[in-house]
Chains A and B, each alone.
Chain A
Amino acid sequence: MAEAQNSPAGSTTAGSIAVAAESTVVSRMSAPPSFDVADFPVPHGREEEWRFTPLERLRGLHDGTATATGGVKVDVQAPAGVTVESVGRDDARLRRAGKPVDRVAAQAFSAFERASVVTVPKDTVLAEPIRIAVHGEGGTAFGHQVIELGAFAEAVVVIDHTGDAVLAANVDYLLGDGAKLTVVSVQDWDDKAVHVGQHNALIGRDASFKSVVVTFGGDVVRLHPRVAYAGPGGEAELFGLYFTDAGQHQEHRLLVTHNAPHCKSNVVYKGALQGDAAHAVWIGDVLIEAAAEGTDTYEMNRNLVLTDGARVDSVPNLEIETGEIAGAGHASATGRFDDEQLFYLMARGIRESDARRLVVRGFFAELVQQIGLADIQERLLSRIEEELEAAVA
């Protein structure tokens, strides 16, 4: 079930499938999940969950020295029928989807003053997306966003991150029974931005959750999308796309916890890297608990290294506590676009810049098509083109 291939120098692909009585996904973390930052020691960089992350570039988010300065604007535009609230720290809905699992997520939870809760009432099917614009103007901020769909509600949410900020913020998705939620989170930050966050999705009975995480910008982006199920029959599709340029660190750490029977999950993350010290990290953990009979899960990570000097660390990990499953597998591969490929395409008359565009577009197209939202798809493809243009120039 595991495969690892075509790994160029400067990349690691380590896959494992374990059948275990006790999960190492949980036990290898340096502290148990908690809402309180004081429950986590300050990381020194050798911990399993921090070993790929450049702590010195987190601008103090990990060690308590970062303080909120404001300067990050959040604008929520929601169609009629949707409730948008600003709530205090004691609102119970802020703690339902899951606890922070590392120090920065706990720091975000411990430091925000007001949280935003967006609610789509039950049976409400939105014709237009909810748009959340997070724009940084150079400040440091801590945030918490909850998006809740009542039973059989259907919604699309687009979260755009732009500008310059040091942001630690978590997002919770609460899906009622039979609800359908598609979330596109675009990290299109300026070059200096630092963004760390945990995304918790709690999927109701027979509900469908589709997450599309798109990371283009920032100095350091480290996201932790997590899924768990509140009942049987839930489905999660987690798609990701990243384009890591010179000097950028982009880290996506996923965990799908199959804690209910007959649920599905499908994880596909694809990244392209170009330039010196471009570093992408992908951790894909899937845990199938003993109760989760009939689980069907697959996770895949593909990386395309366009130039020398870039590095990928890709670690898929699958833990199975029951044999009564429908299917489970994972795959990780890192390939490079090298001089031989360039020569081959150019020997057919194709100009160098067109050759690179052809390869990168092709690499992402299959994934982008699965998003299912025409305007988002078009925007992502043209944004990929821009990334390529910028790099060639």
Chain B
Amino acid sequence: MATLEIRDLHVTVEADNATKEILKGVDLTVKQGETHAIMGPNGSGKSTLAYSLAGHPKYTITGGTVTLDGEDVLEMSVDERARAGLFLAMQYPVEVPGVSVSNFLRTSATAIRGEAPKLRTWVKEVKEAMQRLNMDPSFAERNVNEGFSGGEKKRHEILQLELLRPKMAILDETDSGLDVDALRIVSEGVNRVRETGEVGTLLITHYTRILRYIKPDHVHVFAAGRIVESGGPELADKLENEGYESYVKGGASA
């Protein structure tokens, strides 16, 4: 069973000619089939955790370990991490000029699966996945994220999640900027992947709203660069009612 283990992770970022520590000792274990929600106020370091796990060059790991099934993730390049089974659905996916969605998806699936998917079954697979996400077929011919609305970008991220079938899916504020209909469609996509039981999900969010659609097994409160409280789904209810105030006060520089 696939397991992502994060131990005492410390991460810094360079900003304004100064080194700032954002993650200050994160400990977390996510197993295949589990869904963990990480909730926290703005600036608490949630997205830094997501991008550090994916290997974004902006972040420097200064301490701790991350392993996926015992393999050292921090030693891997960004593409190696993806091929090892890590997937990051991004909050702000970038435009890639000149690359069509269909070409991008196929290139990516070929890289992740280790061989080019058979064309006929692939076309069908993509078409069906797009239908489930209420995406128009013409979407496939557009350039990646170019001119996409906020909702289209998120659907495109979840489309990739469905097609690439990672071991560990990190969803970075996938709910932000979505209206209720789009949130429901995107959540259904995530749930289809979860129901396979083959993915561990790390759901990073500021709001409790998405948890009405995607039920987490564990909820963690993130503040000032570390997990400050962990519990079951009931912890989300507490946050819904009380907000993050008590954590922020205790969290010093957050």
| A binding-site residues for B, Cβ under 8 Å | 304, 335, 337, 339-341, 343-352, 354, 358-366
Minimum CB–CB distance for A300 against chain B, Å: 14
Q: B128 on the interface (CB 8 Å rule)? A: no
Candidates A337, A347, A354, A363; contact of B107 at CB < 8 Å = A354
Q: In whole angstroms, how far apart are the Cα atoms of A358 and B144 in the complex?
A: 12
Q: B103 on the interface (CB 8 Å rule)? A: yes
Asked if residues A351 and B97 are in contact (CB atoms below 8 Å), the reply is no
Q: B79 on the interface (CB 8 Å rule)? A: yes
Minimum CB–CB distance for B206 against chain A, Å: 22
**Contact (A363, B90) CB under 8 Å given A343-B57, A354-B107, A358-B103:** no
* Chain B residues, Cβ within 8 Å of A365: 98
Q: B77 on the interface (CB 8 Å rule)? A: yes
Candidates A339, A352, A358; contact of B99 at CB < 8 Å = A358
Asked if residues B111 and A354 are in contact (CB atoms below 8 Å), the reply is yes
Asked if residues A349 and B164 are in contact (CB atoms below 8 Å), the reply is yes
Asked if residues A349 and B82 are in contact (CB atoms below 8 Å), the reply is yes
Asked if residues A348 and B108 are in contact (CB atoms below 8 Å), the reply is yes
Asked if residues B57 and A350 are in contact (CB atoms below 8 Å), the reply is no
Q: B64 on the interface (CB 8 Å rule)? A: no
Q: Which of B88-136 contact A (CB under 8 A)?
A: 88, 90, 93-100, 103-104, 107-108, 111-112
Asked if residues A348 and B96 are in contact (CB atoms below 8 Å), the reply is no
Q: B78 on the interface (CB 8 Å rule)? A: yes
* Chain A residues, Cβ within 8 Å of B112: 348-349
Asked if residues A345 and B96 are in contact (CB atoms below 8 Å), the reply is yes
Residue among B79, B143, B160 with max Cβ neighbours from chain A (10 Å): B79
Minimum CB–CB distance for A291 against chain B, Å: 39
Of chain A, the residue at the smallest CB distance from B112 is: A349
Of chain B, the residue at the smallest CB distance from A302 is: B97
Which 6 A/B pairs are nearest by Cβ-Cβ distance?
A363-B98, A362-B98, A349-B111, A349-B82, A348-B108, A346-B78
* Chain A residues, Cβ within 8 Å of B55: 347
**Contact (A359, B99) CB under 8 Å given A341-B94, A349-B82:** yes
Of chain A, the residue at the smallest CB distance from B82 is: A349
Q: B20 on the interface (CB 8 Å rule)? A: no
Q: In whole angstroms, how far apart are the Cα atoms of A337 and B98 in the complex?
A: 10
* Chain B residues, Cβ within 8 Å of A335: 97
* Chain A residues, Cβ within 8 Å of B56: 343
Q: B83 on the interface (CB 8 Å rule)? A: yes
Candidates B79, B98, B108; contact of A359 at CB < 8 Å = B98
Q: B11 on the interface (CB 8 Å rule)? A: no
* Chain B residues, Cβ within 8 Å of A349: 79, 82-83, 108, 111-112, 164
Q: In whole angstroms, how far apart are the Cα atoms of A343 and B57 in the complex?
A: 8
Q: B22 on the interface (CB 8 Å rule)? A: no
**Contact (A347, B88) CB under 8 Å given A352-B79, A354-B111:** yes
Candidates B78, B79, B82, B97; contact of A363 at CB < 8 Å = B97
Asked if residues B103 and A362 are in contact (CB atoms below 8 Å), the reply is yes
12 contacts between A and B (CB under 8 A): A304-B97, A344-B93, A344-B94, A345-B99, A347-B54, A348-B160, A349-B83, A358-B99, A359-B97, A359-B99, A362-B143, A363-B98
* Chain B residues, Cβ within 8 Å of A361: 98
Of chain B, the residue at the smallest CB distance from A345 is: B96
Minimum CB–CB distance for A270 against chain B, Å: 9
Of chain A, the residue at the smallest CB distance from B77 is: A346
Candidates B82, B95, B98; contact of A348 at CB < 8 Å = B82
Asked if residues B57 and A351 are in contact (CB atoms below 8 Å), the reply is no
Contact string against A for B residues 16-27, beta-carbon threshold 8 Å, 1 for contact and 0 otherwise: 000000000000
* Chain A residues, Cβ within 8 Å of B160: 348
Asked if residues B94 and A351 are in contact (CB atoms below 8 Å), the reply is no
Minimum CB–CB distance for A201 against chain B, Å: 29
Of chain B, the residue at the smallest CB distance from A350 is: B111
Minimum CB–CB distance for B140 against chain A, Å: 14
Residue among B56, B83, B97, B143 with max Cβ neighbours from chain A (10 Å): B97
Minimum CB–CB distance for B224 against chain A, Å: 26
Asked if residues B97 and A350 are in contact (CB atoms below 8 Å), the reply is no
